[in-house]
Amino acid sequence: MKKVIVILLLAALGFYLGTTFFNIGFGDPHFANGVKDFYLKETVDNLHVSNTVTSIVVNFRGFDTLGEVTVLFLAVTALGSILYKRRHEVGTRSVLFSSSSVVTAGSKLLFPAVILLGVYVFVHGHLSPGGGFQGGVIIATGFLLMLLSYENYSVSHKWLSIVESLAGIVFAGVGLLGFINGGTFLQNFLPTGVLNNLFSGGVIPIIYIAVGFKVAAELTGVIYTVLHEKGVK
Amino acid sequence: MSIMEIIGSVLILIGSIFLFLGGLGIYRMPDIYNRLQAGTKATTLGAMSLILGVGFLEPSWMLKSLIIIIFIAFSNPISSHALARANYKRKHFPLILSEDKKNMDAYREVIEQEDKEDKS
């Protein structure tokens, strides 16, 4: 009797799963005209953002971007936890020979310019090509330049983790504020301003600044951790 | 065609010729030092001339292109200096076809002296 009931339940479950599965319609055109027209029109008319890619990445698919940032965070955490013990056993970097004075002086001059470029790229993410990820990577290359030129240049891990956590909290907090004000997670709730203005696009600049800080802190942490790993010579 | 456009176009032409010669030098030269000097000198001047030409074609971008030129003037020689120095310190010595090997590579003596001091 018990077996019959189990078989019947399984059959019912299988039937419903099967009908749902075969009704999905793989390969069917779900949108007759595609969604591109909607994105292009909505971006300029209602969001007042000149960079359509940014508006898709941060506004229409903001949840996806939050996932990407989380994946990066997870990767950095995993790397840090793998290399943590070895770093504490050794403590210093293995350097074959120190950089020449040309490189040290030059990188001291170039470092502020690189940081400024990175900040520019992520602040203007909604106006020009670029955005939080790209700007963060540029800032991390600035720190890489300093770490390569100066043997004893050190980055505070405490500050890196504080910046990273604050940026993540800002991203998620903006999403929750959208939940409270607009109705859905990461909904735009700020005034969108005028097209091609620096202060426009609603929550997009805030999110991109947070993403820029987060990516910069994470990648700087990765570079620092890997450079301080001894063993490979 | 105004005078600014002519100047800009000529500068862009000069820059592209320099960049082409730099690429040819990287392909044709025998060792890393020759390649570095072909690549660095030609591409630094070529890129500077090209960007200056763009600044002449679009006068409102002139300030930005000057800043980019300063950046290239800093970063390009520094990076190739670091490459050449790292290569020399790893004992990839330059290719010398002449018989008089000692007097053509003065830096090798410095390196060998440093090595002796390290060992002692």
ipTM attached to this prediction: 0.73
Q: Between these two residues, A201 and B4, which has the higher pLDDT value?
A: B4
In a domain, A119, yes or no: yes
Q: Is residue B98 part of a domain?
A: no
Give the count of beta carbons closer than 10 Å to the beta carbon of residue A70: 13
Taking residues A62-79, report their average pLDDT: 88
Q: Scanning the structure block, which residue is given the tokens 């990188």?
A: A107
In total, how many domains does chain A have? 1
A224-233 pLDDT, tens per residue?
888 876 654 4
From the CB of residue A144, how many other CB atoms can be counted at a distance below 10 Å? 18
- Give all strands (DSSP E) within chain B, no chain letters: none
* Weakest mean pLDDT among A82-91, A205-214, A219-228, B53-62: A82-91
Range of the domain at A136: 2-227
CB contact under 8 A, A103 and B81: yes
Give the nearest chain B residue to A113 (CA atoms): B71
Q: Answer yes or no: do B82 and A99 touch at CB < 8 A.
A: yes
For residue B20, the enclosing domain spans: 3-92
Instruction: Report the C-alpha gap between B15 and B20 in whole angstroms.
Output: 9
User: Would you say A59 and A204 are in contact if contact means Cβ atoms under 8 Å apart?
Assistant: yes
A201: left (phi over 0), alpha (psi -120 to 50) or beta: left
Inter-chain residue contact A113 with B71, CB threshold 8 Å:
yes
CA atoms of A41 and A60, how far apart (whole Å) = 13
- Does B9 reside within a domain? yes
| pLDDT in the model for residue B32 | 87
pLDDT(A118) > 90? yes
* Number of other residues whose CB lies within 10 A of the CB of residue A205: 24
Amino acid A140 reads A
* CA dihedral of A50, A56, A60, A66, whole degrees rounded to 10: -120
The answer to whether position B107 is within a domain reads no
Phi, psi at A130, each rounded to 5°: 120, -165
In a domain, A131, yes or no: yes
Based on the structure, what is the number of domains in chain B? 1
Q: Which residue has the tokens 């799963």?
A: A17
Contact across the interface for A106 and B85, Cβ inside 8 Å? no
CB pairs under 8 A between A and B: 24
B113 part of a folded domain:
no
- Domain assignment present for B116: no
pLDDT in tens, chain B (120 residues): 789 899 999 999 999 999 999 999 999 888 888 889 888 988 899 999 999 999 999 989 999 999 999 989 988 999 899 888 888 888 777 777 666 666 667 777 777 777 788 776
- Residue A158 placed within a domain: yes
In this complex, do B81 and A102 lie within 8 Å of one another by their Cβ atoms?
A: yes
Higher-confidence residue of B16 and A27: namely B16
Chain B interface disruption, residue of A98, A102, A117, A128, most B CBs within 10 A: A102
Quick check: B51 and B69 in contact, CB under 8 A?
Answer: yes
Q: Is the pLDDT of residue A85 over 70?
A: no
Q: Give me the pLDDT at residue A233, please.
A: 41
Q: Are residues A18 and A96 in contact, defined by beta-carbon separation less than 8 angstroms?
A: no
Can you give the pLDDT at residue A232?
A: 45
pLDDT recorded at residue B63 = 93
pLDDT of residue A148: 86
Residue B117 lies in a domain: no
Residue A232 lies in a domain: no
Q: Is residue A149 part of a domain?
A: yes
A90: which 2 tokens?
């050794």
Question: What's the rounded Cα separation, in Å, for the pair A208 and A69?
Answer: 11
Tell me which residue in A100, A110, A113 faces B85 most closely, judged by beta carbons. A100
Q: Which burial class, exposed, middle or buried, applies to A59 when counting CB atoms under 10 A from its CB (0-12, 13-18, 19+)?
A: buried
| Number of Cα atoms under 13 Å in the Cβ half of residue A8 | 5
- Name the least confident of A84-88, A142-146, A166-170, A180-184: A84-88
B118 lies in some domain:
no
Tens-place pLDDT, residues A132-161:
899 999 999 999 999 888 888 888 888 988
Euclidean distance between CA atoms B113 and A154, whole angstroms: 31
Residue B105 lies in a domain: no
